[in-house]
Amino acid sequence: MATVVVMPQLGNSVESCLIVSWQVKVGDEIAENAIVCEVETDKASMEVPSTAAGTVLALLWDEGDDVPVKEPLLVVGAAGEDPKPALDAVGWAGKDGEGDAAPAPQPTEASATPEVAAQPAERAAATGAASPRARNLAAANSLDLGAVEEGSGPGGRVIERDVKEALTSATPAAARAGAHGAAAQGTGLGGRVTTTDLTAGPAPEAVAPTMPAARPATAVDADFPGPSEATQVKGVRKVISERMMNSLATSAQLTYTTTANAQGLLDLRKKLKNSDAALGMTGVTIGDLVGYAAVRAAAQNPSHNAHLADGVLTTFERVHLGFACDTPRGLLVPTVRNASLMSLREFSAVSKQLANEAIQGSINPDLLSGATFTVSNLGGFGIESFTPLLNVPQTAILGVDAIFPRVKVNADGSVGAEQRIGLSLTADHRVIDGADAARFLQDLVRFIEAIDITALG
């Protein structure tokens, strides 16, 4: 009997997966553990292996479908085997509840019904098979869509490109008019002959052809607004959008900014970079050092290392640090669990491993949640100040800005310059007052400016 392969649960918090692309098609012979499709959760993208070997008998979903975990995904069995008994055995009623095991085959030209096989122009006139942009462009230029004999879209559909071509060349109606001796001057754009002109009969011979009137300055530009592309917001991008709106709508966010002397960061980073590779510290970055200092500050300020949900404030003894990670699929926030229990070397190594997995799309979705405090670092992009949004239900998030020179007055009255790093703290004012946020930043500045000592902790 055929085997039904289901959508696996790719993490404890995952409820459904979006099919990005199928890697197999009906009729393919596959081995057990062969990759059948690429899927995307609300946090990461992954590949799904087959749990059975054989011939692919049916693909139950289309690319772009959001499939609940544990739902039938495809059917594998012997070549020519009917997949329906296997689907009936698991109670599959189709993705729409109608028992469809695969998309219905599209009719070929040879098997098309008489209505489908009708002339394209007649089909367009009868069914309006023209895209909205094509109809708008035709209407703006007084072009009869019936004059477009063949559309280049799917199934002969008239699309915007077809209308543009009709506007820049003699229309089929004009060609027919010339063949039958009808008037060469019509009522269409630029004097083109339309089907309306053909049914009205030949124009009086006494009326001499005239040059088309000059195009007024207010005329509609046929190329307006120019090329564009519409993309459905889905997957990770949709989740980010919804979470950001929810963050702003459900919390009282206020951002506080300050700076810290960055010379200690720069000196320690240089020293670690040139250290013995056997010590495992050469890869420690400025971002690692600031993140490590932020963990120490969050541990000393419980209201910042907390969740606020349904009117209940939960503070955490340990700091589980989330960090914003720029990936090809959008913003992800991996969590360094138990960051407050780690050494600097361990913290740096775990952060890099999580970042690499997030960028590659192979991170466990469970490691993209559970943070108690978050850091977002835009300093590498030269940003000197910004307003990070809370990752609710967290009560605070730290934005790390660029290092930049600032003028300072020395004790002897001379003027010099020092390197400063910008810090932007966003806090939920429902539980964190301004003075509390200021104290957090004071602690953070102290940890950063004495980073060599902080790293020993």
CA atoms within 13 A on the CB side of 434: 2
Greatest mean pLDDT among 8-12, 208-212, 375-379 lies in 375-379
Q: What is the per-residue pLDDT across 297-325, written as a single tens digit (0 to 9) for each?
A: 999 999 999 999 999 999 999 999 999 99
Neighbours of 294 (CB within 10 A): 30
pLDDT at 157: 62
pLDDT at 439: 98
Q: What is the per-residue pLDDT across 75-87, written as a single tens digit (0 to 9) for each?
A: 999 999 999 999 9
CATH of 235-454, one of 3.40.50.300, 3.30.420.40, 3.40.50.720, 3.30.559.10: 3.30.559.10
pLDDT at 360: 86
Burial 115-152 (b: 16+ CB within 10 A, else e): eeebebbebbbeeebbbeebbebbebbebbbbbbbebe
Greatest mean pLDDT among 63-77, 159-173, 282-296 lies in 282-296
| CA–CA separation, 332 and 330 (whole Å) | 6
> How far from each other are the two terminal CA atoms of the chain, in whole angstroms?
62
Cβ–Cβ < 8 Å for 289, 264: no
Q: What is the per-residue pLDDT across 391-423, written as a single tens digit (0 to 9) for each?
A: 999 999 999 999 999 999 998 999 999 999 999
pLDDT at 125: 40
| CA–CA separation, 281 and 288 (whole Å) | 11
Neighbours of 107 (CB within 10 A): 12
Cβ–Cβ < 8 Å for 456, 280: no
pLDDT at 426: 98
pLDDT at 89: 92
Residue 255 pLDDT class (50, 70, 90 cuts)? very high
pLDDT at 310: 92
Least confident of 7-16, 244-253, 393-402, 442-451: 7-16
Residues 6+ apart with CB under 8 A from 456: none
| CA–CA separation, 322 and 370 (whole Å) | 8
Q: What is the per-residue pLDDT across 324-345, written as a single tens digit (0 to 9) for each?
A: 999 887 889 999 999 999 999 9
Q: What is the per-residue pLDDT across 113-144, written as a single tens digit (0 to 9) for each?
A: 333 333 433 443 433 576 556 776 777 777 77
Beta strands in 238-387 (DSSP E): 253-261, 306-309, 312-315, 321-323, 325-327, 330-332, 335-336, 373-377
Q: What does the pLDDT average to over 61-69?
A: 87
Percent of the chain with pLDDT over 90: 54
Residue 440 pLDDT class (50, 70, 90 cuts)? very high
CA atoms within 13 A on the CB side of 6: 13
Q: Look at the block and give the residue holding tokens 């002959």.
A: 193
| Secondary structure of 354-416 in HEC code, one letter for each residue | HHHHHHHCCCCHHHHCCCCEEEEECHHHCCCCCCCCCCCCECEEEEEEEEEEEEEECCCCCEE
3-89 placed in CATH 3.30.460.80: no
Greatest mean pLDDT among 22-31, 84-93, 219-228, 242-251 lies in 22-31
Q: What is the per-residue pLDDT across 160-219, written as a single tens digit (0 to 9) for each?
A: 667 777 877 644 444 444 434 444 456 655 555 555 555 555 545 545 555 556 666 666
Domain ranges of the chain: 3-89, 120-199, 235-454
**Mean pLDDT estimate for the chain:** 82
Give pTM, 2 decimals: 0.63
pLDDT at 185: 56
pLDDT at 194: 58
Least confident of 157-166, 275-284, 355-364, 447-456: 157-166
Least confident of 196-205, 221-230, 234-243, 443-452: 196-205
Residues 6+ apart with CB under 8 A from 101: 58, 60, 75, 83, 84, 87, 92, 94
Assigned token pair, 420: 């400063």
Burial 245-274 (b: 16+ CB within 10 A, else e): eebeeebebebbbbbbbbebbbebbeebee
